[in-house]
Structure 1
């Protein structure tokens, strides 16, 4: 593979988006977790939920900041490395990204300061409303980003100008709610909640291993394990839903995911294989034959990769194995959630054991699933940035790249890698230290000062104190 400006631009965008997606995936779920904790504190008046909130909001602030910074860098690449794509599809994509700023960013910017710094300055109800507003803002942000990306996967509600070749919207409702958007949005939101639950479970498990099992630790382990046990089956269903839509609109992607080369009415489920793209076959294949009717409700033949021209196929090896890594990580998190709930039921979840040792490294599985899932979605879309639709040609990736020099892209990619390695590694390590330390290590909260007139005592008895007089006392 020759490293030209196109390949380097793709690598640069992949590198930046892989870093960026980690933080929104975490903050979306963490904002919801904080809202739940504060809501439970207001409802039950139990101090344990307030301690959980104050502990995890520090991590949320750092992750949110790094997500914003990495997202800004990513958006600039639309005008540098991918200016032709921006010119061709900007009339459709631009408004969707603008709506994200007008709705999600403005909502988050309005209430984030109150959420982070208003604990002692506003009432409890207003602070809870601020936390809810930030949590809702993160979901709205994901709504518009997933809508824009899903339109690139399954374009709808548009036409192409015959003279310029530019896309323009004919029905923005169809653009926003394009065929793959509902399934992919649900899939991504569940992935965010699951990712956060895995991190919270890992942090709690490490505290138990270290012997720092306080009441907040016990609650966060139970909440995280229960979340994984409930949401992972829903995530499997959402993934199946998304796969059904991809099978209808992106059959080449599904063929690469499944490792199918030949077209057949009934296909098998390839569990393991080494795709050989040169010879159009699989090596060392392990298959469950005749299982496709349980996966796809299609009455038409299931297309294999040979049904598509070689230049229209996605890179099979990357898509095939990224999908299996994603599924494998998800199954491990499902097992941990069920295991944790069983230990909870048996009263043994607070005792250090193999479950806790497994849960600590498993805290990274949510991030691995998110990144590999996006690899499946984006690499599986190749060789198009805007996929083909019935009667409307797509926009190929090679026709979307900006006319930039090889050296310029290579230099900027190297700078990105160095800067990201330093800044984001340091930030991630710092967040991990906060998350894994015991709750008894948290600094005590400052006293709640009250505004009183001068001369009033702040002692136990609420009586006016004697105010020294500036007049001289009369001689006795």
Structure 2
């Protein structure tokens, strides 16, 4: 334990893990909730139903809270590349730094630029212009996801150039951006953020319904969430399966750690799937485990026997394979288990919906279902975090898979300085978390303002040669008559 305090690389990894895990909590919600706000505001414009307008105003408060914490918590991550990981930045900066620059200039600035109009422009711009601002905010948030996942996927499957004297030289930026992992990684994260946001919104809505506060109002948001989740939940499972198949082909050592597979299973044989186990890195075996015969063959290749071998961890020297096997193994199973649970909850909710149990009158009687949605609200966060643990810890000992080791990528700093910054960030993030929980719970306890009138511009044409009514009222009576003429 005390050796950790003197290990600069371990402390730098721990600090980056802290900042990444904490920061990820906030954009996960904003990227998905932005899409929900686009849909809910579009429904208001189409139906003129005031409930949808009140939903847009209420949920946007939680959006901006998460946006603010996300920006503040993300700054240390950017600084770490130059401070704690300077050799890494120097080695791959021509590509990695460029892509992160794209994220900041193309995506974050787009989101931030139109956020003010989305929040404060209800009475200041025409409705369609406001909706366009909401669309651009959501697009910017998800464009950030694209660039970040492109950069991280490149770390998993580097492409588009080669390392020359320890430095990556880009030969084809498009090939590097569109590396083998990029598409599935982006889609997996896109659906993860959307699914997490839907279940947070659904869980909060269920809390109001369970407590019989604005039950009819929040039954509407729960149904919108459910309608979206019908598509999102199974798609997320499917894309997750495709991502696991890519790990099988491109990162066999990570797959071996995900399955705690120590011995190689040759091609032509059936592969059992380990349901639960107790991996022991010291003994290079599982001390005990429960297996499902032949299941891994079907999961990887949809066949009873393998066309390609599943390599065991013993195929690699200890220095060249992932450690913390138990963490990787159970993180993967937690992520998969949550995905299946959420899909099951959607299925049960649809059945109740078809039975008429989610009507404004009957929904308050579905206490067990409302409690299930409240329980599910934080599960998406856990699935995202455990998924990233599998993705990043499973990549070790490489920071750029097969090319650049993590131990060679850390700055040569005194361990005490890294420990000091780690403790400082932990304190700051604790304050952020307390503030977010306090203000978030305050927003939820206060609830929506159902007396808020819709903007008057909703009934006016988007383009009009006539001055707005409130501007005409300020003019003298003669000027008003002149305008009417």
> Is the TM-score greater than 0.5?
yes
2:307 is the counterpart of 1:299: yes
Q: Distance in 2 between matches of 1:243 and 1:455?
A: 67
- 1:236-260: per-residue Cα shift (whole Å, max 9, x none)? 1101111111111110001111121
In structure 1, the partner of 2:229 is 228
Q: Assess, with a 3 A threshold, how the Cα gap between structure 1 residues 455 and 309 changes in structure 2: closer, same or farther.
A: closer
2:287 is the counterpart of 1:283: yes
In structure 2, the partner of 1:53 is 56
In structure 1, the partner of 2:73 is 70
Of 318, 321, 345, the match for 1:310? 318
In structure 2, the partner of 1:469 is none
Q: Distance in 1 between matches of 2:386 and 2:474?
A: 62
What pairs with 1:281-430 in structure 2 (closer than 5 Å)?
281-297=285-301, 299-315=307-323, 316-349=325-358, 350-352=363-365, 353-388=367-402, 394-430=403-439
The CA deviation at 1:113 is 1.4
Q: Which moved more, 1:41-50 or 1:147-156?
A: 41-50
Q: Assess, with a 3 A threshold, how the Cα gap between structure 1 residues 442 and 43 changes in structure 2: closer, same or farther.
A: closer
In structure 2, the partner of 1:210 is 211
In structure 2, the partner of 1:169 is 170
Q: Distance in 2 between matches of 1:125 and 1:369?
A: 36
In structure 1, the partner of 2:459 is none
Q: Distance in 1 between matches of 2:351 and 2:445?
A: 23
Aligned residue pairs: how many?
Answer: 451
- 1:226-281: per-residue Cα shift (whole Å, max 9, x none)? 33332111111101111111111110001111121111133211110011111111
Q: Distance in 1 between matches of 2:455 and 2:111?
A: 29
1:382 counterpart SS class: coil
Whether the aligned pair in 2 keeps the contact of 1:226 and 1:337 (CA below 8 Å) is: no
The CA deviation at 1:447 is 7.9
Whether the aligned pair in 1 keeps the contact of 2:50 and 2:454 (CA below 8 Å) is: no
Gaps of 5+ in 2: 457-468
RMSD in angstroms over aligned alpha carbons?
Answer: 1.8
Q: Assess, with a 3 A threshold, how the Cα gap between structure 1 residues 436 and 157 changes in structure 2: closer, same or farther.
A: farther
Of 85, 96, 113, the match for 1:93? 96
- 1:438-476: per-residue Cα shift (whole Å, max 9, x none)? 43x55634985822344779xxxxx99xxxxxxxxxxxx
1:275 counterpart SS class: strand
Q: Distance in 2 between matches of 1:84 and 1:155?
A: 17
1:302 counterpart SS class: coil
Gaps of 5+ in 1: 389-393, 458-462, 465-476
- 1:178-212: per-residue Cα shift (whole Å, max 9, x none)? 00110010000000000001101110111011111
Q: Distance in 2 between matches of 1:327 and 1:84?
A: 35
2:364 counterpart SS class: coil
